[in-house]
């Protein structure tokens, strides 16, 4: 057995940080199990790990008072105490990177502030690349990191061997060295935060378990504890692996989708053969392990390709400083990776194999922000084994978000409202987190999809699409066709065609065919993933509500459709939707899939208290079918007696028609692509009949199915940005080219009006732009996939959002944000056409800069192709 590679196993009674954590919490004078539990306070925070302590520290530093933190056991005794303490700065999104950078700044300052060390040590890190694909992945990450001011450099195998002489380098392509990466002691860091919080008036009470959160009119009113109730205005769930369980005990239930896996690392004794002092910690990504110094030995851990969920029948309380039984079989791949990379590792003597629980989420990103179910209920949990690295900054972000009522920047990648109630199912979570853990070190190729937790929500056309060769993606839990493979190629172009390259994708030719069918003949697209709401009233109350929520004129004629945002008080987009007026007091609202939870709550919060407006989510009642292309009207006309002539059914109109055997099909003359056609919303029981009838009627025109990737290419060429992908709640209409959809003169003081008036006077300090990438070899160069740095005259100005190919324009197309800063003072100035039209624009793809042509407004797209690529 592989165990023989390690000479001696010593079964310890507990590893060093566990003993340190216990001692530290006893010595810390700022907490006490005998502290008096107040009966009323402003903020209650549940959880005394690094997350909860960071939140209360920052709230107090920002001036809030009457803050109480409740911990069911002792501080750090959940999962914080056994963290590995690695702090890597390069992360998957801008918000995650920002939070990690803020964590380092905070941990550096805490000792001076509190007199307590955090154990922070700037040692640097090495990310090893065994394959060319891994090296390319690191080049993309390094490109983004340098743009964000993170120092990093690539090392050849020989340079790496000089830096760390005891690792095997013969199979490596190279490594990325990040000198500013750190390690910290999780318990010391947490205790320093606790002391800093107490110095600013926070009351920290151990030994108090929060049993439930009670609400009044769907707003937090008080918490129930094992020592009695506490009234409060705000509740913040930082309960770690208990967070999901606690959310379930609220009425209404607050979804907090996370679940713990077992998470292991090995501690060795001092190694005489190797000097580990002062070495960078190592992430051997292709072998699923990390290696850091531990005393004069090693700590070796990693992320299992297939995680092992624990506590599937409930998490014990309080489980202070608890560990799980050693699981050598599950740890074997990580151990094998270590022994491969460190040949002298077979001489190591084992001090302990530690196994402890760690929470993971369905997409490997944290859960932060306001709950969509209950006002004043906030969440900060699910850090996927990156709590020490992230929480110092995350606590600051959440505190600012709570105090100001909006986040300090785009936090959508970590916003808890990105999930729906369907993704809070326990069986779903157990299956999904077994896969997400391995995603830490897996190359995140563009378009990769999870295999677990699928078919959670399916369109009524799912079976037909699957039979037609659809390759599906997951949009907010809804199975959505991405493209259609030829039936003979279904096995070849199945799940794996979505992964495996940063260059020209394997599905290119299939999507290209779908694209041209949409432009030249007719295609059918399943749009069931869109969120759909209905709003109605007896009188004019529904109209009055929409006039208040929307900047566009909502008093349009019956049978018309308006595209509008729903703005917050700062003028940012809380939602972006198409609204159809079905009758004088009856509206049908179509929103992005991401708005299923968030968008519903936003409208619900603004409903009149007298119940005069009826509002419901009807997403599950209607399938959506887009009929796109110049032949769309002809095909559909065969199925209905209602005239669909352009002269009678103009763009942005809607009605209910009979189509085939189906009645009351909602048909709207827009396609979300910029092409002619209609989108239909069909009761689910009729959807299959309508689809089959449509395919039969369109056969002579060569009708075919098309997926979301073709839709993406079509909308990018027309510069149609999407909420959640290109902009979120910090963007205003003036910044995304939609000022024409703001009607200041409609006679209603709509939400965000005053802010927009100020924005109009100032001019936009940033703007969403469209770029065509020049001098790019489609077949051999790497493609942009989102997150690439945009440079104007050599200065970083923003990052790309959505990207894709534009077959008519015969260019790669990127959307992205640009700013205009004074080169001397750095002051933000108005973004004008001259900023990009008369400047040198470049987009950096995997370290190489390509020239690009920029637009602030949609360029003309020829109605017909000239020649196919």
Is residue 424's pLDDT more than 80? yes
3-state secondary structure 440-496: HCCCCCCCCCCCCCCCCEECCCHHHHHHCCEEEEEECCEEEEEEECCHHHCCCCCHH
How high is the pLDDT of residue 487? 59
How does pLDDT run across 505-514, given as a tens digit for each residue?
A: 999 999 999 9
Structure tokens at 411: 């936090």
Is residue 839's pLDDT more than 70? yes
Over residues 266-274, mean pLDDT? 91
pLDDT > 70: percent of the chain: 94
Question: Residue 541 and residue 609: Cα distance in Å, rounded?
Answer: 11
Rounded to two decimals, the pTM is 0.94
How high is the pLDDT of residue 622? 98
How high is the pLDDT of residue 377? 98
Question: Residue 560 and residue 541: Cα distance in Å, rounded?
Answer: 19
How high is the pLDDT of residue 433? 98
Question: What count of other Cβ atoms lies within 10 Å of the Cβ of residue 447?
Answer: 19
Is residue 866's pLDDT more than 50? no
How high is the pLDDT of residue 204? 98
Evaluate whether 222 touches 117 at the Cβ level (below 8 Å). no
**Residue closest to 592 by CA, chosen among 490, 708, 513, 677:** 708
Q: Which helix (H) or strand (E) holds 268?
A: strand 259-268
Over residues 79-106, mean pLDDT? 96
3-state secondary structure 522-565: CEEEECCCCEEEEEEECCCHHHHHHHHHCCCCCCCCCCEEEEEE
How does pLDDT run across 679-725, given as a tens digit for each residue?
A: 999 999 999 999 999 999 999 999 999 999 999 999 999 999 999 99
How high is the pLDDT of residue 2? 35
Evaluate whether 589 touches 579 at the Cβ level (below 8 Å). yes
The overall average pLDDT reported for the chain is: 93
Angle at 608 between CA 750 and CA 749, to 5 degrees: 15
Structure confidence at residue 599 as a pLDDT band (50, 70, 90): very high
Q: What are phi and psi of 715, to 5 degrees?
A: -75, -30
Over residues 639-660, mean pLDDT? 96
Distances (CA, A) of 149 to 104, 583, 792, 818: 14, 55, 17, 18
Over residues 857-868, mean pLDDT? 65
How high is the pLDDT of residue 865? 42
Angle at 580 between CA 578 and CA 585, to 5 degrees: 130
Question: Residue 18 and residue 31: Cα distance in Å, rounded?
Answer: 19
Structure confidence at residue 829 as a pLDDT band (50, 70, 90): confident
Over residues 4-23, mean pLDDT? 40
HSE toward the beta carbon, residue 594, CA cutoff 13 A: 19
Is residue 419's pLDDT more than 80? yes
**Residue closest to 726 by CA, chosen among 769, 673, 692:** 769
Instruction: Name the residue with higher pLDDT: 17 or 310.
Output: 310
């Amino acid at each position: 057995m592989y165990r023989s590679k390690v000479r001696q196993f010593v079964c310890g009674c507990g590893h060093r940080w566990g003993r340190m954590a216990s001692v530290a919490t006893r010595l810390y004078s700022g907490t006490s199990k005998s502290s008096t539990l107040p009966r009323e306070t402003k903020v209650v925070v549940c959880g005394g790990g690094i997350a909860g302590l960071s939140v209360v520290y920052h709230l107090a530093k920002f001036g809030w008072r009457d803050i109480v933190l409740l911990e069911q056991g002792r501080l750090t005794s959940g999962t914080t105490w056994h963290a590995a303490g690695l702090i890597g700065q390069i992360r998957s999104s801008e918000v995650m990177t920002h939070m990690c950078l803020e964590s380092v700044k905070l941990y550096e300052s805490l000792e001076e502030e509190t007199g307590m060390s955090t154990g922070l040590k700037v040692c640097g890190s090495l990310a090893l690349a065994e394959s060319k694909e891994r090296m390319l992945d690191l080049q993309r990450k390094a490109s983004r990191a340098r743009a964000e001011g993170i120092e990093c450099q690539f090392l050849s195998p020989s340079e790496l061997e000089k830096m760390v002489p005891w690792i095997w380098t013969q199979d490596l392509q190279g490594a990325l060295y990040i000198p500013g990466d750190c390690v910290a002691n999780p318990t010391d860091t947490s205790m320093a935060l606790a002391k800093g919080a107490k110095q600013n008036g926070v009351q920290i009470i151990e030994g108090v378990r929060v049993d439930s959160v009670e609400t009044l009119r769907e707003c937090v009113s008080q918490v129930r504890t094992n020592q009695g109730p506490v009234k409060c205005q705000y509740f913040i769930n930082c309960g770690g692996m208990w967070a999901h369980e606690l959310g379930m005990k609220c009425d209404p239930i607050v979804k907090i989708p996370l679940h713990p896996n077992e998470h292991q690392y090995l501690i060795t004794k001092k190694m005489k053969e190797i000097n580990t002092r002062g070495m960078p910690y190592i992430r051997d990504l292709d072998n699923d392990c990390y290696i850091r110094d531990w005393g004069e030995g090693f700590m070796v851990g990693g992320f299992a390709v297939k995680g092992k969920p624990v506590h599937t029948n409930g998490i014990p309380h309080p489980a202070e400083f608890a560990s799980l039984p050693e699981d050598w079989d599950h740890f074997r791949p990580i151990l094998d990776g270590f022994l491969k990379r460190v040949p002298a590792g077979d001489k190591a003597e084992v001090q302990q194999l530690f196994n402890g629980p760690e929470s993971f989420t369905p997409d490997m990103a944290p859960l932060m922000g306001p709950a969509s179910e209950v006002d004043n209920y906030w969440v900060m949990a699910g850090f996927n084994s990156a709590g020490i690295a992230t929480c110092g900054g995350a606590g600051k972000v959440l505190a600012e978000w709570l105090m100001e009522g909006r986040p300090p920047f785009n936090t959508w990648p970590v916003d808890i409202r990105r999930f729906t109630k369907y993704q809070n199912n326990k069986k779903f979570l157990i299956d999904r987190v077994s896969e997400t853990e391995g995603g830490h070190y897996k190359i995140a190729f563009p378009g990769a999809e999870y295999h677990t937790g699928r078919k959670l929500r399916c369109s009524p056309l799912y079976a037909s699409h699957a039979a037609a060769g659809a390759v599906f993606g997951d949009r907010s839990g809804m199975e959505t066709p991405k493209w259609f493979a030829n039936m003979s190629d279904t096995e070849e172009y199945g799940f794996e065609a979505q992964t495996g390259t940063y260059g020209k994708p394997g599905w290119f030719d299939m999507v290209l065919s779908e694209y041209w069918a949409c432009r030249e003949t007719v295609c059918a697209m399943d749009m069931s993933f869109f969120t759909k709401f209905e709003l109605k009233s007896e009188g004019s109350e529904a109209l009055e509500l929409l006039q208040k929520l929307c900047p566009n004129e909502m008093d349009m004629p019956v049978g018309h459709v308006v595209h509008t945002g729903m703005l917050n008080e700062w003028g940012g987009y809380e939602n972006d939707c198409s609204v159809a007026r079905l009758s004088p007091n009856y509206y049908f609202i179509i929103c992005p899939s991401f708005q299923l939870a968030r968008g519903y709550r936003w409208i619900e919060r603004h409903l009149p208290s007298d119940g005069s407006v009826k509002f419901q989510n009807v997403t599950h009642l209607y399938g959506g079918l887009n009929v796109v292309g110049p032949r769309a009207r002809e095909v559909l006309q065969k199925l209905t007696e209602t005239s669909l002539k352009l002269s009678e059914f103009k763009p942005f109109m809607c009605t209910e028609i009979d189509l085939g055997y189906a009645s009351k099909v909602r048909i709207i003359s827009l396609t979300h692509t910029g092409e002619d056609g209609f989108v239909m919303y069909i009761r689910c029981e009729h959807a299959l009949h309508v689809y089959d009838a449509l395919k039969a009627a369109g056969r002579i025109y060569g009708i075919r199915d098309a997926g979301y990737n073709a839709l993406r290419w079509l909308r990018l060429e027309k510069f149609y940005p999407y909420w959640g992908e290109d902009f979120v709640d910090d963007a205003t209409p003036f910044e995304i080219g939609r000022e024409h959809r703001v009607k200041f003169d409609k006679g209603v003081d709509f939400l965000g009006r005053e802010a927009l008036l100020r924005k109009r006077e100032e001019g936009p300090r940033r703007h969403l732009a469209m770029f065509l990438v020049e001098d790019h070899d489609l077949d051999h160069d790497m493609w942009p996939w989102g997150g690439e740095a945009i440079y104007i005259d050599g200065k970083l100005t923003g990052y790309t959002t959505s990207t894709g190919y534009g077959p008519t324009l015969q260019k790669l197309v990127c959307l992205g944000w640009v700013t205009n800063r004074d080169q001397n003072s750095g002051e933000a100035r108005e973004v004008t056409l001259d900023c990009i039209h008369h400047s040198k624009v470049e987009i950096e793809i995997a370290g190489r800069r390509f020239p690009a042509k920029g637009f602030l407004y949609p360029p003309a797209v020829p109605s017909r192709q000239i020649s196919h690529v």
